[in-house]
Amino acid sequence: MKRSTVVALAVAAAAAAWPAAARAQFTAEEIAMRPAQEEFLRTAEIVRFEEIGEGVTKPYKLFLHKDGVELAAAWKDPKGIQLGYLEGWQYEIAAYRLDKLIGLNMIPPAVERDFQGRPGALVLWAKNKYSLLKVVENNIPIPAEARPRIDNMKYLTRAWDSLIANEDRTQQNVLYTDDWRTIIFDHSRAFRSTGEFVKKLMFGRNGIRISAQGKPFLFLRLPRWFVENIKGLTFESIRAAVGDTLTDQEIKAVLIRREMLVREIAAMVKERGEAEVLY
């Protein structure tokens, strides 16, 4: 790896200037570095590791070194039913690849990598300042200029989780950079393909997830590019993007939820007007 690449890798996960007009949460520089970051995750030497100590999937934090640069990544290998939930490490990789296909650009790079003789998902450790949990618990104020963007990304995250049937979005796996960009991770409980997950969306008016007061979690505003890009999804385009990380049934379930999501957005536009819903 060239020295220029090493420097870029070291900088890639750091926060950059506020991307006022950008549609992505990762900056253009960070997005451009994803192929190099993926290769780094696959090939860098594991110099040490430690248990993260959070979550039921027993993830590890690996420290990787190559050509003078050291980065951290989270490794996990859950598979099958754990504590009543279907877990799958391959869904971490599928989520990242689908993120790239749609242009969501909110999920850190993830690759398959063996560790301690077992296959699993290795996800780049995203540089961040706060988790949503820390913001809530410590009553950390969000700057007024960042609030609209934070709210928009909250709604976009709900729409994304609805598309992929992610039943494990928590305050711990929503991160904020020091300039209040939103990064999301932990998708090992996504891509459900049976039961209520192909009959309802995770969020929305008739969503599976509701508040303690019995109210739905809505996605009030969404970017036009997201809506247009999910409309363009096909079985073939998803298969080409995710490879063998999803089964045929799981891909078909994504498309079923896409149709439900598009219908709900259309109903919102009809009721409130396009300018109020899409930006």
Of 42, 91, 64, give the one whose Cα is nearest residue 247. Answer: 91
Q: Where are the beta strands (DSSP E) in 125-225?
A: 130-131, 174-176, 182-184
**CB contact at 8 A, 171 and 132:** yes
DSSP symbol at 11: H
Give me the residue label for tokens 């749609």.
102
Query: From CA 85, how far away is CA 89, in angstroms rounded?
Result: 13
Ranges of the chain with pLDDT below 50: 1, 3-8, 10-22
Q: What is the pLDDT of residue 136?
A: 97
CB atoms < 10 A from the CB of 26, how many? 26
Tokens of 196: 């209520």
Q: What is the pLDDT of residue 58?
A: 80
What's the gap between Cα 164 and its chain centre? 10
